[in-house]
Amino acid sequence: MTVNLKLPPFPAVFLAIISVQIGAALAKSLFPALGAAGTSTLRVGISAIILFAFNRPNLRALSAVQWKAIIPYGICLGIMNGVFYLSLSRIPLGLAVALEFIGPLLLSVITSKSKLDYLWALLAVAGIALITPWNGKGTDLYGAAMALLAGGFWAGYIVLGQRTSAVIDGSKAVTVGMIFATLVILPFGIADGKLGNFTMDMVPSAIALGLLCSAIPFSLEINALKHISAKTFSILMSLDPAVGALCGLIFLKEFLSFSEWLAIALVITASLGATLTGKPEKQIIQ
């Protein structure tokens, strides 16, 4: 039996967005007990166990080319998750997702090279400026920086995910990649010292976390990336900041100010603008 969520690219990416943001809201509720590093380790580790149990990949059958693609993909996946959770521990979910989304947005701009790309990049920068604590108050600077760093790894994840999906089945790629992601994040979870606070009543939340944040969305995304370009994928993710903000509001009661909502709107507008005005996209698999 394999977890092989093969849906058309557009609904697959949309369902992945919803799954990740609901899972992120659930994850943040575990922060008081497990901390950001512990929760991230739990998310990635449980997801790896679930995927491996269902997919049962034959590691010996993987070729050198496949290993060369999967290892950096998994490492990037692990760092992206860990850094993003550090940002969630300091700033609201909606803002963290908006700032993280700058990574895919810049990837879209770079691969498009339309003359209007500078305008979309400027809108994104304006969004960042709106939530930057220039007066030392408001948005936590460390949290914002971690979200931006996570965005850089998100862009890398898109590129590496597309290249990996070209040489190996999506379900196998996600499963093996998640193993390497676990190896990357596990030392930080252990060093944080809060994993010992895990109790049996957290098991249902932990399983839901692994499914919603990793197993389901990454399986959907890796298959979508096999049929669409990195640029198109980046654009489809333009709803991510809005969904994140709404999930933060509904599940975490995180109320954003007008300027924060405006910042999110600017990022989304920049993303959609890059889609509508960009030149015909090219595959970036090498």
Of 13 and 3, which is predicted with more confidence? 13
Residue that has been written with the tokens 């399983």 in this structure? 207
Res 121 pLDDT > 60: yes
Please give the Cα distance from 195 to 222 (Å, whole number). Answer: 29
Among 18-27, 50-59, 210-219, 225-234, the least confident range: 225-234
Cβ-count burial 85-103 (b if 16+ within 10 Å, e if not): bbbbbbbbbbbbbbbbbbb
What is d(CA 183, CA 189) in angstroms, rounded to the nearest whole number? 10
CA distance 236 to 223: 14
Write down the H helix ranges in 237-283: 240-252, 258-277
Q: Tell me the per-residue pLDDT of 7-32, one tens digit each, with 9 for 90 and over.
A: 788 888 889 999 999 999 999 989 99
Helix (H, G, I), strand (E, B) or coil at 95: helix
The model's pLDDT over 155-165, given as tens digits with 9 standing for 90+, comes to: 998 899 889 98
Prediction pTM value: 0.81
Distance (Å, whole) CA 37 – CA 191: 9
How far is Cα of residue 32 from the mean position of the Cα atoms in its chain? 22
Distances in Å between the Cα of 232 and the Cα atoms of 12, 154, 174, 229 are 13, 15, 20, 5
